[in-house]
Amino acid sequence: MVSGMRRLASFLVVMLMWTGLPGCGGGGDSPPSQTSSTPPGDHLAIINDPYFVDQWHLKNTGQKNPGGQGRGTPGEDVNVESVWNRGLLGQGVRIHVVDDGLEQGHEDLVANVLAGQGYNFLHVTNGCVAPACTPNSLGPKDPSPVSPNDNHGTAVAGVAAASANNVGGRGAAPGANLVGYNLLAENFRSQDSHDSTAMSHKAELAHINTNSWGHRDGGFIVDSGPEWKSAVERGVTIGRGGRGTIYLFAAGNGENPKPLPSDDSNSDGWANNRHVMAICAVDARGKKATYSERGANLWVCAPLNTGRSVDLPAITTTDRTGEQGYNHRMVDFDYVDRSYTLTFDGTSSATPLAAGVTALVLQANPNLGWRDVRMILAETARRNDPTDSDWRDIGVNLLGGKYHHNHKYGFGGVDANAAVQRATTWINVGPQKPPVIKERTLDLPILDNDPAGVTDTISVSGSGISSIEFIEITFTADHEYVGDLNVTLTHADTGIQSQLAAQHVCDDDFNRHISCGLYNNWVFGSVRHLGESADGTWTLHVSDTDPISEGTFQSWKLKFYGR
């Protein structure tokens, strides 16, 4: 009875806030918050941002790539227009953009930028010390790019939240607020302490923290720093007034078919962290972008272009004003107005697009916890490329149905309208149970160049976790070349498999084969068992399918997070 009344009260609060929100202004602490660039009520007006017609990722009408012949498929977009028409533009939501800078004065960003809230890592008061850092002349709270090569962040910011102001294009959340962090500025070599600052600075105010960066592509294993991990763990605890900051990371652009895929998002210690949503990319026809990395850790995909070719259109977004930026008119079909470009792409573009959609969800229901947001996006994502053979129905969602997951697409294409609608009726899930850990130490030789490999089993019973939210798989193998290894986790009770690693080669920027690193307590992440019970039989299969190098499967550990 008490539980039912509590649920009813939560629902009523949500409904009251949703109906009252379109009149709210922006977020932030003192000084007074920035107001939305679009007055409430004007959202039903015709969209006059002149480049919106090119922004197929927001509304795909089958636009043609101006530089080629390819056209997109109508409907393959984030389905956001009807959300805007209901007055939801992301007002009051604060997006932290961690990149190489953010041009705060750009005509299509300035109205949404929270002045005085950003962070300039290239200022001496913020610890900029030679030789790791070359100070610039801007203030400590101004992350505007100075170096001619720091163009990335301004483009990212525009995808998320360029204003709806009859100028340029618009972002997915054109009323959201932007705060920039120039962690990746050219003249700054960030260390773990700086990475953690970018995640935790003003976390209590940060709704969303979007990151279009990670380890360098090439297939090798690189872990995130321990202090970065502490920061995101703290951010989901204290962020957003205790509801948790939403962290998004690009899945990575390192998949390079050659004869073998070369990179997996699960080799990136930022993208496979349990507090992060890894964002993959689909093209204008709803198919996987060629370079978008696959992984058992992928959350959702968002649109961009297919592979830096001229076959399908890329993303229109803000570019550094004037002579700077990507738009040098090197391709004759880019905008004459060089403050904008239509050539942006990569999971770098997909990630802020998903961040903008997340902003709309949070505006619709500000009471959502960080775990609730993830589950809403997972539950409502579209099963794009529906005939792809890797789709699996998994677990049980909160409507009693199934999630679906694909190593290429995560839970599918992010759908703003479905997610916002679901957010308005969502009842927050309860707290997570204490994580359940099971581990095995063994010393099994991995047969060289033999797909039969070796398999070990862990049985789980009485875990108390009936709905998994994330699994960490800690793996140790002593092997001469870990790129030879295939590692697959299977929940025997459901048959669902997580391919954690597949045989590949690792290469550097000069196409030379290099070491892939070492599986020494390497932590893989899997979201492919979302909604499953942790109880049951779990197997880990390890095989070596390339000759010469040999090794031993030494240990593994499963850590289940859920409720």
* Site for other proteins, rule CB under 8 A: 99-100, 127, 130-134, 152, 184, 186-193, 196-197, 199-201, 203, 212-218, 220-231, 234, 270, 348, 480-481, 505, 508-518, 520-521, 546-549
Tokens of 2: 């008490």
Nearer to other proteins, 332 or 509 (CB): 509
Report, in Å, the least distance between residue 393 CB and other proteins. Answer: 34
What backbone torsions phi and psi does residue 552 show, to the nearest 5 degrees?
-135, 135
Nearer to other proteins, 77 or 99 (CB): 99
Report, in Å, the least distance between residue 178 CB and other proteins. Answer: 18
Give the HSE-up count for residue 359: Cα atoms under 13 Å, Cβ half-sphere: 37
Report, in Å, the least distance between residue 82 CB and other proteins. Answer: 33
Q: Are strands 485-491 and 536-544 parallel, antiparallel or unpaired?
A: antiparallel
DSSP annotation of 124 reads G
d(CA 80, CA 360): 9
Burial (CB < 10 A; 0-12, 13-18, 19+), residue 290, is: middle
Neighbours of 137 (CB within 10 A): 8
Report, in Å, the least distance between residue 387 CB and other proteins. Answer: 33
Report, in Å, the least distance between residue 510 CB and other proteins. Answer: 6
Nearer to other proteins, 100 or 469 (CB): 100
Those residues with Cβ within 8 angstroms of residue 378's Cβ, 6 or more apart along the chain or in another chain: 299, 300, 397, 403, 410, 411, 527, 530
Tokens of 483: 């790129």
Nearer to other proteins, 145 or 286 (CB): 145
* Terminal Cα-to-Cα distance of the chain (whole angstroms): 22
Nearer to other proteins, 217 or 264 (CB): 217
Nearer to other proteins, 253 or 463 (CB): 253
Report, in Å, the least distance between residue 188 CB and other proteins. Answer: 8
Report, in Å, the least distance between residue 3 CB and other proteins. Answer: 33
Query: DSSP letters of 122-189?
Result: TSGGGT--TTTB---SS-TT-----STT--HHHHHHHHHH---SSSS---SSTT-EEEEE-TT-TTB-
Nearer to other proteins, 129 or 399 (CB): 129
Contact 82, 70 (CB under 8 A): no
Nearer to other proteins, 361 or 516 (CB): 516
Report, in Å, the least distance between residue 481 CB and other proteins. Answer: 4
Give strand pairing partners of 301. 280, 413
Tokens of 484: 């030879």
Tokens of 251: 């899945």
